[in-house]
Amino acid sequence: MAAQLRLRSALALVTGAGSGLGRAISQRLAREGALVVAGDRDGAAAEGTIRLLEGMGSEAGSGPRCHAAFQVDVAEAGAVQGLIEQIQVRACFSRPPSVVVSCAGIIRDEFLLRMPEDYWDEVIAVNLKGTFLVTQAAARALVSNGCGGSIINISSIIGKVGNLGQTNYAASKAGVAGMTSSVALELGRHGIRCNSILPGFIITPMTKKVPQKVLDQITARIPMGHLGVPEDVADVVAFLASDDSGYITGTTVEVTGGLFM
């Protein structure tokens, strides 16, 4: 697909950018012309994403790029604040990110009756608290600089419908969607939009851990007849990041192929 360059002047921060959805989102935003800051708890994985973006060369039509990778644990407030500060002092950025995509997430699956407390705490810390910390730090910087922006939080259809063995994950992702609505109410007057995306079953390293028999059962229930790919989600992120969605805030977009309609 030809690059539309809807984000030529944008600086985008993507957390969880080292693989899966985060990597695909980073690539799509770069193709749309954005400079990308790839953040991940695995710094080497984030660097790998940036090498892919640099390998795209002039594909985005804007010459030499100035993407950057950072190691960050989104569950640590100091680390998140430090990341936002580092972005703003970096010579080729010198501003806060105007597009912020919280994609960092983990799973620690177990049935309710056997779930250890630390499984709950770890998932909530990364998926929900981490999204809150990134949203808060980025929003403070945008408001302080008088900038508008687009904050996009990756939730999950599981946060809406639940799933066996995922009480912690479902709670964290439902929290992300609810938080996003409140953030949109508060930040609209500053010209900052906030929306969430609810992916269904997407082919990523996370879903590859699911037994094939289970995936086959899920696929049979999807009206479109197949699992999604990361690019399906990245397409929606690019839309929500761009001015094409300039009057959309506080909404959730399901990317599920019709599953759970």
Catalytically active residues are 169
Give me the phi and psi of 160, to 5 degrees please. -95, -40
Q: Which DSSP string do the residues of 128-190 spell out, in sequence order?
A: IIHHHHHHHHHHHHHHHTT--EEEEEE--THHHH--TT-HHHHHHHHHHHHHHHHHHHHHGGG
- Measured CA to CA, the distance from residue 3 to residue 15 in angstroms comes to 23
- Measured CA to CA, the distance from residue 221 to residue 15 in angstroms comes to 31
Reported as type and span, the H/E element at residue 99 is: strand 99-102
Reported as type and span, the H/E element at residue 253 is: strand 252-255
